Chains A and B, each alone.
Chain A
Amino acid sequence: MNVADSIRARLTAAFAPAALDISDESHLHAGHAGHRPGVSTHFRVAIVAAAFAGKSRVERQRLVFAALGDLMGNPIHAFALSAKAPDE
């Protein structure tokens, strides 16, 4: 399973999201710090899930970090996130 698939599997299992968009932006960072040739390291994720309703931005992001677990740090080097509830 590649990194994007792993992210999708973990977030789907944790949140049953109404929408989930994962972009692998690693190629944009070739030669930059944290980029490892052949390894996906930079991601942008937009997720919509009921679990985020009533939660602060910090709480939402912590929930996502927790769901990603050991993927954060290695192989994920950079992670941009938008986390919304369905009615937002």
Chain B
Amino acid sequence: MGSVSEQIKKDISDNDVVLYMKGTPVQPMCGFSSMAVQILSHMGVKFKGVNVLEDPNLRQGIKDFANWPTIPQLYVKGEFVGGCDIMREMYESGELEELMKSKSVAVSAG
């Protein structure tokens, strides 16, 4: 998985917010990925969506990378934040917005 983890490191350092997901932001292929996209969209956060279904190596590689067995996975400024449940809890409590602001990621007033 050497090259896969290198690619992941590059993606999460080149982009402030990266969501590894099933499907695309326009057409999510899983309810959890869909919810993750909705949360980020509601917040007005620009993010890069990476479709793990297009690459079996990435689909496994991202799980190994974060030591996290499920998808979606959210990364902000190179740091693993969590999956769908954590995103939802943090969104509802306002912590996700706090996190974005603390890392200087633009959030538009919803």
Contacts and interface: CB of A to CB of B under 8 A. Distances in A.
B contacts with A: majority SS: mixed
Nearest to A83: B85
Interface residues of B, number: 18
Interface in B39-79: 67-70
A65 B30 CA distance: 20
A13 interface: no
Interface residues of A, number: 15
A contacts with B: majority SS: mixed
A32 B81 CA distance: 27
B83 A33 contact: no
B85 A80 contact: yes
A8 to B, nearest CB: 19
Listed residue (B29, B68, B70, B86) with the most chain A CB atoms within 10 angstroms of its CB: B70
10 contacts: A32-B31, A33-B30, A58-B80, A58-B82, A61-B68, A61-B86, A65-B70, A72-B70, A73-B69, A80-B32
Interface of A: 32-34, 57-58, 61-62, 65, 72-73, 78-82
Given A73-B69, A82-B85, 17 more contacts: A33-B22, A33-B29, A57-B82, A57-B86, A57-B89, A57-B90, A58-B80, A58-B86, A61-B85, A61-B86, A62-B68, A65-B68, A65-B70, A72-B69, A78-B30, A78-B31, A80-B85
